[in-house]
Amino acid sequence: MDIEAELAALTARVRLLEDIEAIRAVIAAYGPAADRGDAEGAAALWQDDGLYDVGGFGVSAGRTAIAALLEGPAHRTLIEGGAAHVLSPVSMALDGDHATATGYSCVFRWTGAAFEAHRISANRWMLVRTAAGWKVGSRVNRLLDGAEAARALLAGGGI
């Protein structure tokens, strides 16, 4: 392999690693934003027309609707009582400027005496590289309650 080919291969590997890290950072930013009540900050992780499909809560389309979901009474009551949105590491598949990430989320809730697992879900994130960096195009979240929908979200490959 000549030096130009080696440099091109190395450049491609570095870009892939940078993309993986940037995508993981976007996903990791969701939980802390949700828990501190920063609905606008959490919604800003999505593209302007992004979708957040939360099993049991419907589909929020666009940043304004996603922020409204997080500012709504169900979420406000949860975080004001003490909660933690914890996301697992994800497996990823990248294809140019598009990526799919698959993993878990667990929402813990303070009961007054201890934390309990309140909501455990499978998640499929579709991300897009934009001029502003990686953004969520859609996130689908389904409870791991034995239903096929959650298992189907987990049926993806990746890195």
CA distances from 68 to 46, 48, 76, 91, 124 (A): 14, 14, 11, 29, 21
* Residues forming a β-bridge with 138: 51, 126
> Quick one: residue 107, left, alpha or beta (phi over 0 = left, psi -120 to 50 = alpha)?
beta
pLDDT at 12 over 50: yes
pLDDT at 159 over 70: no
Q: Name the residue ranges covered by the structural domains of the chain.
A: 3-154
22-67 per-position pLDDT tens digit: 999 999 999 999 999 999 999 999 999 999 999 989 999 999 999 9
115-157 per-position pLDDT tens digit: 999 999 999 999 999 999 999 999 999 999 999 999 999 986 4
pLDDT at 158 over 90: no
* Residues forming a β-bridge with 117: 108
- Side-chain-side CA neighbours of residue 71 (13 Å): 11
Q: Domain 3-154 class?
A: alpha beta
Residues 36, 13: Cα–Cα separation, whole Å: 36
pLDDT at 72 over 90: yes
Q: Give the pLDDT score at 70.
A: 97
Q: Is residue 126 within 8 Å of residue 102, measured between CB atoms?
A: no
Q: Give the pLDDT score at 139.
A: 97
